[in-house]
Every structure is written in structure tokens, then in C-alpha cells.
Structure 1
Amino acid sequence: MPEISEEPTCSFCGKGRRQVRRLIAGPLGVAICDGCVAQCTELVADDAESAPDGAGPVEPDGRPAGARPPRPRPHEIHALLDQYVVGQDQAKRVLSIAVYNHYKRIDTRTASVGRHAAEKDTVELGKSNVLLIGPTGCGKTHLAQTLARALDVPFAMADATALTEAGYVGEDVETMLAALIRAADHDVERAESGIVYLDEIDKIARRSAHPSTTRDVSGEGVQQALLSLLAGRIAEVPLHGGRGRPGDERVALDTSNVLFILGGAFTGLDRIVESRSGGGLGFGVDIRPRQARAPLEVLPADLQHFGLIPEFIGRIPVVSLLEPLDTAALARVLTVPRNALIKQYRRLFAIDGVTLEFTEDAVHAVAEQALLRGTGARAARAILEEVLLDPMYEVPSRADVSTVVITRDTVLAKVDPTLRSRSRPAFWSERHDRSA
């Protein structure tokens, strides 16, 4: 081990502490002065400028060390959504384009920061907020949650039903931005390039299509408060959510580059559209099921008739309609996605060393029952919980059971599932009518 002198010196140039502005000491008596640090920095910079393309350390995917990963293209975002969400191709395309353009807007803004003012782009890229319209259980929130896992930008979700006009019981519209700041690890600059998904937006429709003389604090009042956020303004955000109190810590967040994705069921909007397009009551009306007819085309006037104010509609230029799920689509929801419900329950049984099997007829029976309940994919979990209640209670205590088989009768007639014994090769069952 080298001897450490009483007067430290630079290990590179030999100058003492009194001969330099700053001497940085390291382990084992090694030190370096500020002058040598500056020379080393220049040498490294010169080497970087003169190095040929592709030289230097690289990441495992081949990009230069420290460089930002390539942004996913719309087709790649769409493919990711396909892994988790069944159908709704049009909505996936709309979201893929919106997110990709959001990335490009962020990258353009970042690149402009380091340029001289005279060299900045003269074209500013605006944002196109998105509105997703579809019945409950069709996948609106699931699409947003899937995007949140995949995006390289902060993502926050909020519920419009909790929002009220400032000064009334509830939450201010600014409070939903607190979740965005938390998603960005309290990096405000990064949060300003994030995405907010605001669910149940149809619940803030005003009570009448015409202006009212009474104050609508959770409807039109919230729409008015959201206008400037959607367009872009500097908001004072309470860091800990809620309305905050005088003296609470707040930060200023510019929403000019925050992309807003809004979602809602808009129950009754289809009747408004059909009435406008001549599809109301009377002779010659198209009586085919909704899925068999031509897709609805929602116009701004339809949204205004539903209860959204024109200024609010104008700040959401992209509108995408999600179709209700039919039996075939619900059956795929149960089995195809990476997080499909039946896959989840199979995993729960596998933890106890038991195999869970669903016959094809049983899957379709669950889908049919979910469709009858009218809440889309959400009803499927409730039905599976009912069907699997007894097996999930009994089987963990039964060391003799190796397989649980769910049939159509199990779903529809409340018959106990068929069990396979570990010791007997043939099927045996304790089938009886559970409704008796």
C-alpha cells in the first residue's frame, strides 16, 4: 500500500494542495487536481468527436451507451395492445397514433431546448386529445391501463365523477395532475410531457342540452374548469392531492404538452345519433341488432345534445367509438390475452398443485351469461367467482384431487365440477344440484 504523505499531491501532475484550486482525494492516497480533471474532460470530448460512427460503448440492443431507446412505432404499440385487449381495432389504431405523435412532440421539444433561439423550429407541434366512447366493459379502461405499463412517459388515471367546480365539496380539476407528478417521481418537467386518462367523462355532461339558470357544479362547471387544462395552461397543483389548504405545498405544472385521453360510456348517445340519422321510431326503421348495423358516426352536435359544451368538444379533436363485445369476443377475452381471466384462475389453482380445465362449451356459457348481465367483460369475473366458489374453498384441503373440470352444466345448471383423483385414472365426481 502506498504511503500517504501529510501534504496530498495530484497523482497526475504532482502539484500540492496549495498549488491548485481544488484537489480531489480518492482511496489509497490517490488524488487529482481540478486542472487535470479539465484536461481529461477535453481529451474525452475530442475522442468522442473524432470517433467514427458506431465507435464507443454500446447498449445490448446496439445503441450508443446512454442513448435513449428508440420510440415504439404505431404498429408496435398496436401489437402490444393486441396482447392484452381483444378486438377494438379502430380504438387501438387511434391510441397508437396519438401516443406515437405524443412521443414525437416530446422529442421535438427536447431537441429545441439545446438550440439557439434563432435555430428553433418555426412550427410548433400541437396535441390532439382523444375521446373514447363505448359501453361499459368494452375495454376503455383496460386499454388505458395497458398503455400505462408500456409507455416511456408518466401516465396517470383519474375519475371525472369525483370532480366538482372550485369552491364545492369534491376535488378540483387540478388535483388529478398530482397523480401525474407522482408518476414522474416528482419531476415536474417530466410530468409536463405525460399522459392523463380521465374516465367517466360522460358523467360531467350538463343536465340539459340547453344552458340552465341553476349552477351545475359537477357537470357544466367541471367542463368549464377543464377547458384551459385541455388546451394548455400553468396549473397550481397540490402535491398531496385533494383541494389542499392554505400553506400546503404546490407546484406549477404546464399542461400544454400533457396529452389527455378521455373515456366514457355515454349511455343514450346511440339513440341521439340514430334519431339524427333517421333511425328512430316508425316504418322502415332498421330493427337489426346494433352489431349488425353500420357503425355509428358521432358528430359534435350529437355530443352537444348529450350535454357537452361546444368549447369542451372543440378541445377533443379525436373521437373513437368502441363496439360492445359479442359472445365470441367475450369468449376470446376469457382465454386469449396474456392476462385472460381463465389463465389467472388456472394459475391460482396451479399454486395448490391442481389443474383447472374449462371445456369449450363452458367458456361460451360464461360469455353468454356475461353478455346477459350487460356489463361486458366485467361481468365475466363475477360469473367465474360464482362458478369456482366451491372448488376454491374445498380443493386446497383435498390432497386427492389433481384436476377440476368446469363444464357447461357447471356454469348454467349449478352442477358441481367434475374432479379427477390423483390415485384413480378415471374421472369421478361428487355431482349434485347445488341449487337443491
Structure 2
Amino acid sequence: MANDKKDEPVMKQRCSFCKREVEIHDSLDMPIYDPATGFGICKNCIKELAHYIELHEEDTAKQQAPDFAAQLDEILKKNKPHIIKQYLDEYIINQDRAKKILSVAVYNHYKRMKYGYTNDDGTEIEKSNVIMLGPSGCGKTALLSHLSKLLDVPFAVTDASSLTEAGFVGADVEVAVRNLYYAADKDIQKAEHGIIYLDEFDKIARKSGANNSITADPGHEGVQQALLKMLEGNVVEFTARGQRKHPEAPTIKVDTKNILFIVGGAFVGIDDVIAKRLQKADSSIGFGAEVTSKSEKPTFDELIHQVRPEDLMQYGIIPEIIGRLPIICTLETLDEDALLRILTEPKNAPVKQYEKLLAMDNVKLEFAEDALRAVAKKAIERKTGARSLKGIIEDVMLDVMYDIPKSDEPRKVIITKACIDEGKKPEVIALDK
């Protein structure tokens, strides 16, 4: 005859916490139990205890976390526009107008936050998001990187060209906020007061410019539409890195209301759009018409400073996005003299970096003036701005940095123009001990 489990007696045990009598079907009904003393805690009590512990930890974390609103007075005092610009001058050559625009934009951004925390009169100051336009290698990312270090706020760069509209293969726009969250060491409060830089923003311009695109455009207009709410301030929900996005996946929520968004790109061809608008405005018919020769054609730098929202719209940026990027910041092309100064003047200048590296091997590094100018000329030929300066020097210094550690003798290394232009080996001179 088969055993009938229904007829078996059910073991019961009283919980020492809630005093309820619990039927024991398996070990999880009374996870904590001591047969010797009869002390036991049922699973319901353990669940409640875990819940209270979690609430207590959250409250403790909130009490221990620094109140950002209380820090704003100190932040504003330390980071007035002229102080920000002075700091940027130590690292970035030229681009004075861009430095002023960014200094004022950042200062006003934190004033807006302070107003929001301390006033409830119904007046809302809108965000001062920035759009930066300038050729490749002119210092857009470097400006923002040093700015975030001064402010001591999280800073994250996201390549806008890698973003796609929801439903298409690629990264969703929420990735930009997720990158900031990890840059803030997973501290949500810090992330909610950080800076997001969307690089290569011109790559998501509408393909057909001012005209609507007929075909699906997952990497362009759709992405711009998806960015709208994020730019103006909205709660963005995303999964942790490495987790698949599905309805039951745990998510992290970050409010972008106080995040400063800066978008930038080379916007290749925007100067032609500006020139056409200016030409159309200045054109006249008849004997009074001015004839402009090729030599009188305005330069890129002259045109870029005259950019207007309608030029960006013509380029392919949708009007709604332009409305959420009220501050236009333009950067000039770096000429030979500017590149020459970048090599030696900033605190982290490439030449200073190599001097420090070789000094650790008891070696003095010296660059001839014409050698530095040759480096600047080569960078202009490559059309990559300041970005290629270190790479050009690295090519020349490779063999030197390989051979120098073979001896501890004090020496001097001289880099000449021939080293840069003809690939000759640098001159190494032994020094007296």
C-alpha cells in the first residue's frame, strides 16, 4: 500500500519573533532553528527584517551623502567666469571666445540649479545647453575635459554617430546617461549634476538637410527626436552595463534636469551654408552689384563665427534640437603659430611631457626651434589639428626612448629639423657627471 502523504502529521514550530505557529513543510519555512533550545525565526519575519534593514541602509546613505544644494554657494564662489577662463588658459591655446562662452554657460548653469533649489515662485530658468562647432583637432574635447576637472564633476564623452533610434541595431540614446553614471562611480546624485558631451554630433544631421527624409533614418533624425526629452530634463531609465534590455531587467533611473549637455562636431560644409546665406542677404541686382574675387572669399574662421540657428537647420539639425541648444560656441582653425605654442606652453604640453619622461632616465631633452615648427607644419599637412602633434613627436622619439634606458649615464638629446623632415636620428651628447 502506497504511503499517503496527506495522512502524515505536519510538524509545527512556534516562531520566537512573531509567536505564530508555523507549519514546517521544508527547511525554508523556518530558516533559522536551533533544536537544542527551540529558538526559531520564520521566513516571514526574516523577509520583514531584511526589508527594514534595506530601508535603514537607504536612510543612512541619504544622511551621509553630501547635500549638493548646500555645496552650490561654494562652487559658484570658486568658479566665476573669469576664474574658469584663467584655468583654461593654462591648458588651451587661443580659442578665447569659446572659453568665455563656456565659462559663462557653466556659471549660469550652476546659478540656475541654485535658483531651482532655493526658490519656489513658479519661475523656471531654462537649461543653457551648448552646441560647439569647430574643425577637427581644434580643442573641443580638451576644453571640456579640463573644465570638468576644475569643477570636479563627472564628465562623459559619447560618440553621437554610434547612437541609433530605439528598435534599430546599435546603442540607444540612454547610453550617454549610462556613461555618465559610471563616470560618477555609480553615484546617482553626482551623475545628476555632471556634464555630458555628445561628440560627432554633426554625424546625426538629417541627410536631406532642410527637407524631410523619405526613407527610415535610424542614425540621424530619429536619434535627434530621441534626444529631445533628455536634453530638456527628464528621468532616463537604463540597464546596467552587460545586461540585456528586457521588461523584467532591473533598471537605474537618472534625472537629467541638472545635467549640462554639450554637443559638438566639425560640421564639415557648414561654412558653405553660412556663405550662401550671407551672399543671398548681400546680393543686389544691376550696376550696383559687388563682384567678389576668389582672393576676397571669406575664410572658414570668418564664416563660422557668423553661424545662426537657421544655418544649423539647413545643415540637418531639427528645429526642436536647436531650441534646446540655445548657446552656440564656435572654435577657430589652429594655425602654425598656435600649434607651435601648443607644443611648449600649456601645463601638459607634449614637449614638457617628453622632457619629464627622459629626465627620469637622467637625460635632458632639447628641441631646436625649427624642429618644433616642422612638427607644426606636418600637423597642418595631416589636417588633424593639435591631435597629431604628439604622434609626430612619438615617431621621432621611438628609437631614442628604446636606447636611452640601456645606460644610466647623463646625456642630452637634441631633436633637429632633419629628424622631423628627413627621419634622421636625434643627436645624443654625453654630459659630465
**TM-score, normalized by length of structure 2?**
0.76
Measure how far apart 1:201 and its partner are: 0.5
1:318 aligns with 2:327: yes
- SS at the partner of 1:124? coil
Equivalent residues in 2 for 1:43-82 (5 A)?
A: 68=74, 70-82=77-89
Measure how far apart 1:240 and its partner are: 2.6
AA of the residue aligned to 2:265: G
User: In the aligned structure 2, how far is the partner of 1:76 from the partner of 1:65?
Assistant: 18
1:301 aligns with 2:302: no
The equivalent position to 2:105 in structure 1, one of 89, 98, 101, is 98
- SS at the partner of 2:295? coil
1:261 aligns with 2:262: yes
1:109-158 per-residue CA deviation (whole Å, 9 max, x = no partner) reads: 3335xxxxxxx333222211100100000000101111121114332221
2:158 touches 2:199 (CA, 8 Å); kept in 1? yes
1:172 touches 1:243 (CA, 8 Å); kept in 2? no
AA of the residue aligned to 1:239: A
The equivalent position to 1:284 in structure 2, one of 282, 285, 292, is 292
AA of the residue aligned to 2:90: Q
1:271 aligns with 2:280: no
Query: Which residue pairs with 1:117 in the alignment?
Result: none
Query: Which residue pairs with 2:150 in the alignment?
Result: 150
1:284-310 per-residue CA deviation (whole Å, 9 max, x = no partner) reads: 145357268566411222112211111
User: In the aligned structure 1, how far is the partner of 2:301 from the partner of 2:169?
Assistant: 44
Equivalent residues in 2 for 1:18-29 (5 A)?
A: none
- SS at the partner of 2:411? strand
User: In the aligned structure 1, how far is the partner of 2:306 from the partner of 2:95?
Assistant: 16
User: In the aligned structure 1, how far is the partner of 2:356 from the partner of 2:264?
Assistant: 31
1:83 aligns with 2:90: yes
- SS at the partner of 1:277? helix
- SS at the partner of 2:157? strand
User: In the aligned structure 1, how far is the partner of 2:189 from the partner of 2:201?
Assistant: 27
1:347 aligns with 2:348: no
Q: 1:377 to 1:123 in 2, by over 3 A?
A: same
RMSD: 2.6
1:195 touches 1:260 (CA, 8 Å); kept in 2? yes
User: In the aligned structure 1, how far is the partner of 2:250 from the partner of 2:100?
Assistant: 40
- SS at the partner of 1:170? coil
The equivalent position to 1:357 in structure 2, one of 349, 359, 366, is 366
Equivalent residues in 2 for 1:92-241 (5 A)?
A: 92-112=99-119, 120-209=120-209, 210-240=211-241
1:367-386 per-residue CA deviation (whole Å, 9 max, x = no partner) reads: 11111110000121121112
1:175 touches 1:238 (CA, 8 Å); kept in 2? no
Measure how far apart 1:410 and its partner are: 1.6
Measure how far apart 1:79 and its partner are: 0.8
1:78 touches 1:93 (CA, 8 Å); kept in 2? yes
Higher helix share: 2
Measure how far apart 1:182 and its partner are: 2.6
Q: 1:415 to 1:186 in 2, by over 3 A?
A: closer
AA of the residue aligned to 1:290: T
1:130 touches 1:316 (CA, 8 Å); kept in 2? yes
- SS at the partner of 2:84? helix
Q: Which moved more, 1:284-293 or 1:343-352?
A: 284-293
Q: Which moved more, 1:248-257 or 1:299-308?
A: 248-257
1:418 aligns with 2:427: yes
User: In the aligned structure 2, how far is the partner of 1:203 from the partner of 1:65?
Assistant: 38
User: In the aligned structure 2, how far is the partner of 1:423 from the partner of 1:230?
Assistant: 62
Q: 1:66 to 1:364 in 2, by over 3 A?
A: closer
Measure how far apart 1:172 and its partner are: 0.8
Structure 1: segments with no counterpart, 5+ residues: 1-63, 113-119, 425-436
1:155 touches 1:180 (CA, 8 Å); kept in 2? yes
Q: Which moved more, 1:377-386 or 1:174-183?
A: 174-183
User: In the aligned structure 2, how far is the partner of 1:308 from the partner of 1:263?
Assistant: 12
1:222-265 per-residue CA deviation (whole Å, 9 max, x = no partner) reads: 00101111122222122337763443321222222221011100
- SS at the partner of 2:174? helix
User: In the aligned structure 1, how far is the partner of 2:163 from the partner of 2:105?
Assistant: 25
The equivalent position to 2:403 in structure 1, one of 364, 376, 394, is 394
AA of the residue aligned to 1:111: T
Structure 2: segments with no counterpart, 5+ residues: 1-69, 283-289
Measure how far apart 1:103 and its partner are: 1.4
Q: 1:250 to 1:184 in 2, by over 3 A?
A: same
- SS at the partner of 1:403? strand
AA of the residue aligned to 1:327: E
Q: 1:67 to 1:211 in 2, by over 3 A?
A: closer
Q: Which moved more, 1:135-144 or 1:177-186?
A: 177-186
User: In the aligned structure 1, how far is the partner of 2:401 from the partner of 2:153?
Assistant: 39
AA of the residue aligned to 1:194: G
User: In the aligned structure 2, how far is the partner of 1:296 from the partner of 1:250?
Assistant: 43
**TM-score, normalized by length of structure 1?**
0.75
- SS at the partner of 2:196? strand
User: In the aligned structure 2, how far is the partner of 1:93 from the partner of 1:252?
Assistant: 33
Q: Which moved more, 1:399-408 or 1:214-223?
A: 399-408
User: In the aligned structure 2, how far is the partner of 1:91 from the partner of 1:396?
Assistant: 42
- SS at the partner of 1:297? coil
User: In the aligned structure 1, how far is the partner of 2:73 from the partner of 2:242?
Assistant: 34
Q: Which moved more, 1:258-267 or 1:296-305?
A: 296-305
AA of the residue aligned to 1:361: D
The equivalent position to 1:329 in structure 2, one of 332, 335, 338, is 338
1:249 aligns with 2:253: no
Query: Which residue pairs with 1:370 in the alignment?
Result: 379
Q: 1:66 to 1:109 in 2, by over 3 A?
A: closer
- SS at the partner of 1:272? helix
AA of the residue aligned to 2:270: L
1:357-399 per-residue CA deviation (whole Å, 9 max, x = no partner) reads: 1111111111111111100001211211121122122222144
